[in-house]
Amino acid sequence: MQKVFITLLLIVLNSNILRSQKDHDLINKVVNDFIEGTTYRNADKIRSAFYPGTKMYLYNDQDSLWAVTSEEYASWYNRNPGVKSDRDGRIVTIDIVLDVAYAKIAIDIPFFGNRYYDLLLLKKIEGKWKIISKCTSAEPIPKRPEESIANPVKKVIIENLNHPWSMAFISESDVIIAEKDGDL
């Protein structure tokens, strides 16, 4: 009896793991359809990733809300279909909770100098995963290490020191400086 119970428990656990992996793969495909649709200007691929009428809250470089529908957003990608745009997108995370999920994607657009972060809310509707909401924020694209090299500048803070060799801070703005000849 105990062996039967353990066997049934393992079957249930394995089926949940397999279903979770299948859902992850399906969500990954939907999110990648959205990324590829925007990268290669394919409005149909963008529309297919979203539930009809989905509201999108986009970044507009102001402390305000810019809302559009997924259909309006997709219409912006009708020019030059198939031609790669100046965008580089990738999935950062996907988290699934039963029949809902959220994905975080990062998209670098050098033309604007920004890295955009899209938070996507997905729902499993009639057996298919669809994006049901999108909210975007942005920050400047981080510089590459070779572009971030410090450029030190010499600035004289105290003049008329002969041979300073030691300092001790006695407060945030006061310092005692000892010179080699014994002066303080």
What value does the mean pLDDT take over residues 41-55?
95
Give the chain's domains with CATH numbers. 2-146 (3.10.450.50), 148-179 (no CATH)
Total-model pTM: 0.67
- Mean pLDDT taken over the chain: 85
| pLDDT band at 164; cut points 50, 70, 90 | confident
Contacts for 102 with CB less than 8 Å, ≥ 6 apart: 94, 95, 119, 120, 121, 122
Q: Render pLDDT for 7-18 as a digit per residue (tens, 0 to 9).
A: 554 454 444 444
SS3 string, 24-80, reads: HHHHHHHHHHHHHHHHCCCHHHHHHHEEEEEEEEECCCCCCCEEEEHHHHHHCCCCC
pLDDT band at 165 (very low <50, low <70, confident <90, very high): confident
CA distances (Å), 59 to each of 20, 119, 181, in order? 32, 12, 62
Of the candidates 66, 75, 64, 17, which has an alpha carbon nearest to the alpha carbon of residue 42? 75
Q: Quick: pLDDT tens for 103-114.
A: 999 999 999 899
Q: What is the pLDDT of residues 49-74, one digit of tens each?
A: 999 999 999 988 777 889 999 999 99
The values of phi and psi at residue 5, to 5°, are: -65, -45
pLDDT at 180: 80
Tell me the two tokens of residue 86.
């100046």
Amino acid letter, residue 47? R
Element containing residue 23 per DSSP (H, E): helix 2-39
CA pair distance 157, 36, nearest whole angstrom:
55
Q: What angle do CA 167, 172, 176 make, to 5 degrees?
A: 25
Query: 166 forms bridges with which residues in the sheet?
Result: 178
Q: How far apart are CA 157 and CA 135, in angstroms?
A: 48
- What integer pLDDT is reported at residue 106 of this predicted model? 96
Per cent of the chain over pLDDT 90 is: 54
